[in-house]
Amino acid sequence: MEHVDREAAIQAGIRLAEAEEHAEAVAYLAHAVDLGADEALFHLAFSLCRLQRWTEAAGAFLRAAEVGDDDAWLNLAIVYVELERWAEAEWAAEHALGHGEEAAWGPLGYALLQQGDQEGAKSAFEAATSFGDEQSMIQLALLLRSPDLGRAKQLLQMADEAGDSKAAAILACWQWDDSLDPSLERTLRLALEAYSPACVSLADLLLLTGRTEEALTQLQRGAERGEKACWLPLGNILLDHFDDVASAERAYRSGIAAGDTNCFYNLGALLLDRGDTAAALEQFQRGADAGDQLAARALRRQS
């Protein structure tokens, strides 16, 4: 490798990347960069992404952007999203937009959403939707479900018609919520492949149709996959149908740890039934502070 000149290293790296031989491509492209070939940085970063070496990819895209490769800003924003470095993703997306890269609206929306700026995220996703970004349509639909269900469904239908299977899966879950129609079982099972939170809707259907053990299994699988929406119904089914107080408590606490603030109320109610009033009040207070109305009402009743 040490005898390969920079131009030959770039060409070899690009050929290997095109052949999906990204580990070998990285070796050649990194060599070219070491020889001062800034034009190899973008290609290097791309192959690093394909290898899921995200931190190194971010560094390469940043260097490419700093030496004047304007196309690198969008990719940098996407990599920062992958790394969950939200403030940096916002910064990179804004730079990309400044260079006319409209595709950066989507990463910007996601970065803002993860930093708690829902209104800013909505605006960014709206802009991305106008350019046909299906993932932004889905994110915007999820944000609009409560204030504007009609528009939210319209957005999902647009994404569905464009071929996005996740949009179709979410629509199936919403249809179940609206109708509680057991004939949706097959649709919900298919939805699991594209949208794993569908396990909550499927478990609800199974529970409603008397298949409690199978419902429990679905929720346990979802929780194991990291679906935070599974913890609350999992705790409820363990408590209400299996009288397993200890496991229900663990489920609620796991839900809280995953960020589901609705679990504060259920954990507080369980602790109150157990006679641990002080601990229950603490959970109700935490839930009320997080904006949960059930927890707030329970706290007022106990005061």
**Tens digit of pLDDT for each residue in 11-21?**
999 999 999 99
Residue 240's pLDDT band (cuts 50, 70, 90): very high
Q: What is the reported pLDDT for 205?
A: 97
Region class of 100: left (phi > 0), else alpha (psi between -120 and 50), else beta: left
Nearest to 203 by CA among 249, 181, 234, 168: 234
What is the DSSP-derived secondary structure letter of residue 4? S
Q: What is the reported pLDDT for 6?
A: 85
> Is residue 265 within 8 Å of residue 281, measured between CB atoms?
no
- Indicate the Cα dihedral angle 236, 264, 255, 209, nearest 10°: 20
Q: What is the reported pLDDT for 111?
A: 97
Q: What 3-state class would DSSP assign to 287?
A: helix
Is the pLDDT at 3 greater than 80? The verdict is no
Is the pLDDT at 222 greater than 70? The verdict is yes
Give CA–CA dist 72/101, Å, rounded: 10
Nearest to 6 by CA among 23, 30, 42: 30
Give CA–CA dist 303/291, Å, rounded: 18
Nearest to 9 by CA among 33, 20, 204, 19: 33
Which single residue is written with the structure tokens 């809707």?
201
Which single residue is written with the structure tokens 């099972």?
189
DSSP states along 193-207: HH-TTHHHHHHHHHH
Residue 262's pLDDT band (cuts 50, 70, 90): very high
Q: 3-7, 20-24, 37-41, 119-123: which has the minimum mean pLDDT?
A: 3-7
Q: What is the pLDDT of residues 287-303, one digit of tens each?
A: 999 999 999 999 999 87
Q: What is the reported pLDDT for 2?
A: 62
- Give the tokens for residue 77: 């924003």
State percent of the chain over pLDDT 90. 95
Mean pLDDT over the full length of the chain? 95
Q: What is the reported pLDDT for 218?
A: 96
Q: What is the pLDDT of residues 125-176, one digit of tens each?
A: 999 999 999 999 999 999 999 899 999 999 999 999 999 999 999 999 999 9
Residue 179's pLDDT band (cuts 50, 70, 90): very high
Is the pLDDT at 1 greater than 80? The verdict is no
What global pTM score does this model have?
A: 0.83
Q: What is the reported pLDDT for 81?
A: 97
Give CA–CA dist 144/192, Å, rounded: 22
DSSP states along 102-122: GGGHHHHHHHHHHTT-HHHHH
